[in-house]
Amino acid sequence: AKLKAAPGSQAAYSNLAFDLLADALANASGKPYTQLFEEQITRPLGMKDTTYTPSPDQCRRLMVAERGASPCNNTLAAIGSGGVYSTPGDM
């Protein structure tokens, strides 16, 4: 594939790059990325309602953005690039 710009000359966001980074971190540590996320980010910051896999109780408290939509989806497939559930209190 042809480069869109010379390396270091432009910035661009890539979901795939963050997903690959999450995989690399998990492989390097020997731990699932969800465990790293909890150990390195949410637990040290005291974030008790921030997760990739909300509990049934957390799902009941989520806002529904549109009728018929499920507020509680499995987001583990895009774990590095998003899909984190949280609350204003945790933020």
Q: Is residue 54 part of a domain?
A: yes
Q: Is residue 42 part of a domain?
A: yes
Task: Tell me the pLDDT tens digit for each residue of 31-65.
Answer: 999 999 999 999 999 999 999 888 888 888 888 77
How far is it, in rounded angstroms, from Cα 20 to Cα 26?
10
Mean pLDDT across 12-26 = 93
> Is the Cα torsion angle 15, 1, 12, 30 positive or negative in sign?
positive
- Based on the structure, what is the number of domains in the chain? 1
Query: Measuring CA to CA, which residue among 80, 89, 83 is closest to residue 22?
Result: 80
Q: Is residue 48 part of a domain?
A: yes
Domain span holding position 26: 15-78
Q: State the pLDDT at residue 28.
A: 98
Q: Is residue 84 part of a domain?
A: no
How would you class 71 by CB atoms within 10 Å of its CB: exposed for 0-12, middle for 13-18, buried for 19 or more? middle
pTM (two decimals)? 0.75
Q: State the pLDDT at residue 16.
A: 93
Task: Tell me the pLDDT tens digit for each residue of 64-76.
Answer: 777 777 778 778 8
Confidence of residue 4 (pLDDT cuts 50, 70, 90): confident
Q: State the pLDDT at residue 39.
A: 97
